[in-house]
Amino acid sequence: MKRCLALAALATILPGIALAQNGAWKQTWEETLTAARAEGKVVVSGPPSQELRTVLPAAFKNRYGISVEYLGGRGTEVSTRMRAERQAGIYSIDVVFAGIQSMALTFHREKMLQPLRPALQLPEVVDGKIWKKGKLWFADPEDQYILRLSNTATTTFHINTSEVKPGEIRSARQLLDPKWKGKIALQDPTIPGGGSTQAARMYFQLGEDFIRKLYVDQKPVISRDTRQITDGLARGTFAITLGAEDGDVEKLRKDGVPLAVLDNLTDLYSEISASFGQVALIDNAPHPNAAKVFVNWMASKEGSEIFNKMVGTVPTRNDIDESYLPPEIIPKEGVQYFDTYDWDFTVTKKEQIRAFMKDLLRAK
């Protein structure tokens, strides 16, 4: 009796798995697909990538005959739009891709999401064996709402090798050498985004004294403009940067500009993140069935492969050929990483340090 109750409870929590195991998923899937085609389209908010905006909708329509209205934009822009629409009783978006800060501090906290796990029906999606973690990777504490599709080892610092000799800096604390005063550019740590993430990460690994010396005593240039940081690095205006665009740096390096990644620092763990590679279902979605089909496709091999290739991230599925990726961004077994998309780090620790950084830089 107890075992039957336990199985019933599991089926309630994980309906997608139950359906896949007993074969009932086929009928449910066909019903969902029929209703989705009647709805005609799905509205998706995702990263502002022109390539993704073109390729993803075309591939989904080719697979299921359902159109995708793709809205490209940053998470903060989308959340502002959704707040305004909801105040007017408007619900225009079905599915959202976003970074952890927007997902956790806006969409999840303000109860804009509906559980995604019950919508997953395809056996190739709910089968834990095809996921690197051995199961679906949900970012939220309820293990229901925010599905992680990407996990990439990301770059922290870049250097101009005309200013910094390769191998000259082996630890983060060497950035405090007086010779680098005024030659470092850092992304603004007082606003949501990469700058606050990096400041918080270094605060917890290296301490408050290190942060004060780096952000104040070293007199760095602090900018919200990643283009300014990247261009300054390329020109040699900055010897060391935190916040340059990885993709732009790589292109410049291939064009012969003397740039390099500053990694393997002995006192700072390498980091991992999902970038935009998290997907969630919006509640009161205008096209609920098309949204379910879309998230199943995104979690499938085809959808996940297309998305990660277009944005240059590492998939969390284990059945996708990763030869398109630079080897250094693929997380390695046995290496300790700092996960900047950790839930507790995002919703508590990072916000505390962002407030600290505002006070620190205001008093500078």
Question: CATH code at 240?
Answer: 3.40.190.10
At position 319, the amino acid (one-letter code) is D
Q: Vertex 356, ends 355 and 358: CA angle to 5°?
A: 65
Chain centroid to CA 362: how far? Answer: 29
From first CA to last CA, the distance across the chain in angstroms is 67
Q: pLDDT (tens digit, 0 to 9) for every residue of the chain, 364 residues total?
A: 434 434 333 443 445 554 455 578 999 999 999 999 999 999 999 998 889 999 999 999 999 999 999 999 877 788 889 999 999 999 999 999 999 989 999 999 999 999 999 999 999 999 999 999 999 999 999 999 999 999 999 878 999 999 999 899 999 999 999 999 999 999 999 988 889 999 999 999 999 999 999 999 999 999 999 899 999 999 999 999 998 887 788 889 999 999 998 988 999 988 999 999 999 999 999 999 999 999 999 999 999 999 999 998 999 999 999 998 988 889 998 888 999 999 999 999 998 999 999 999 998 7
- 17 with 113, same domain: the answer is yes
Burial 281-298 (b: 16+ CB within 10 A, else e): bbeebbbbbbbbbbbbbb
pTM: 0.83
- 235 with 280, same domain: the answer is no
- 80 with 16, same domain: the answer is yes
- 284 with 137, same domain: the answer is yes
Nearest CA-CA partner of 276 in 247, 322, 230, 314 = 314
The C-alpha atoms of residue 188 and residue 224 are separated, in whole angstroms, by 5
**What is the token pair recorded at 181?**
């005063």
The C-alpha atoms of residue 280 and residue 283 are separated, in whole angstroms, by 10
- 216 with 292, same domain: the answer is no
**Residue range(s) defining the domain that contains residue 162:** 157-267+341-362
Burial 36-61 (b: 16+ CB within 10 A, else e): beebebbbbbbbebeebbeebbebbe
- 354 with 233, same domain: the answer is yes
- 129 with 196, same domain: the answer is no
- 35 with 70, same domain: the answer is yes
- 197 with 345, same domain: the answer is yes
- 113 with 48, same domain: the answer is yes
47: left (phi over 0), alpha (psi -120 to 50) or beta: beta
| H or E element that contains 157 | strand 157-160
- 72 with 90, same domain: the answer is yes
- 219 with 352, same domain: the answer is yes
Number of domains in the chain: 2
The C-alpha atoms of residue 178 and residue 85 are separated, in whole angstroms, by 51
The C-alpha atoms of residue 359 and residue 194 are separated, in whole angstroms, by 18
Q: How far is CA 94 from CA 57, 70, 283, 303, 325, in A?
A: 14, 11, 8, 17, 30
